[in-house]
Amino acid sequence: MMVSTRLWLGGMVQLSRDRHLADTLMQQVRRCAASLRPLLVLTDGWSAYPGSIRRAFREKVKQTRGVGRACLQVWPELHIGTVIKRTEKKRVVEITRRMAHGLVEQAEQLLLGSRGGTVLNTAFIERLNGTFRERLACLTRKSRHAPRRLRALETGMYLIGCSYNFCCVHHELSKASHVGSPCTPAMAAGLTHHVWSIFELLSYRIAPPPWVPPKTRGRPKKQAEPIKMAVPRPLVRLRKGVLCLATG
């Protein structure tokens, strides 16, 4: 989620919560934040997040001239913050904030610039998770509509997320301190200029990606050479002591 515009970027559904899940999710965030420098990423206390963020936000850098392999370096302007909450009897009793990568002073400046508060927090994504659980029954803690197929759960998640971005007016963004008029997260991010309807969202057509021919295995086939026609050769005949040129 992009805090400054409240735009939902994407999600990932998987049977197990492991490193592959975190890597796939952070690759989605990397594609959305490719042009944002500097960047602040705030997560909860899951230990897989910091390493996945470092692996996602790194680029190849050639340090020596000539032949040699380029090394992978993390973005120099990347900052990773972690917020760990300890609960007792379903109430938060302690909050631990720490930096997994980067400096606290720069992270706080980026947080103020995005209007995300004055201290490191995950309040915005937690509020969005509550919205998803409210609108999609299979995401609640206790439900009679448990999902049976991952495809159906992922489709429902993206349907709720896209309708949240384009069709639902955000109360905080519509205040005078932000935009001052009915505004959706997509409008705040500059993706559209009006509030979409559900019909407009579902009937919108996306151009398919360009077709790429599949790679063939084995040696490339030789192109058929054109058939060369036999050219008639001239015949030289001697008639009565005179050279005559004839073709046959």
- What pTM did the predictor assign? 0.75
* Distance (Å, whole) CA 187 – CA 169: 10
CA distances from 91 to 17, 33, 95, 142 (A): 24, 34, 11, 19
Q: 129 is written with which tokens?
A: 């998770």
Residues of the chain with pLDDT under 70: 145, 224, 227, 230-248
Q: CB of 49 within 8 A of CB of 84?
A: no
Confidence (pLDDT) at 67: 79
pLDDT in tens, 230-244: 666 665 555 555 555
Q: Cβ contacts of residue 90 below 8 Å, gap of 6+?
A: none
* Distance (Å, whole) CA 248 – CA 243: 16
CA distances from 168 to 61, 163, 188 (A): 43, 6, 12
CA distances from 18 to 47, 161, 207 (A): 10, 23, 33
Q: Cβ contacts of residue 179 below 8 Å, gap of 6+?
A: 173, 187, 188
Label residues 46-83 b or e (16+ Cβ within 10 Å = b).
eebbbebbbbbbeeeeeeeeeeeeeeeebbeebbbbbb
Which letter does DSSP use for residue 197 in this model?
Answer: P
CB atoms within 10 A of CB 7: 21
Confidence (pLDDT) at 23: 93
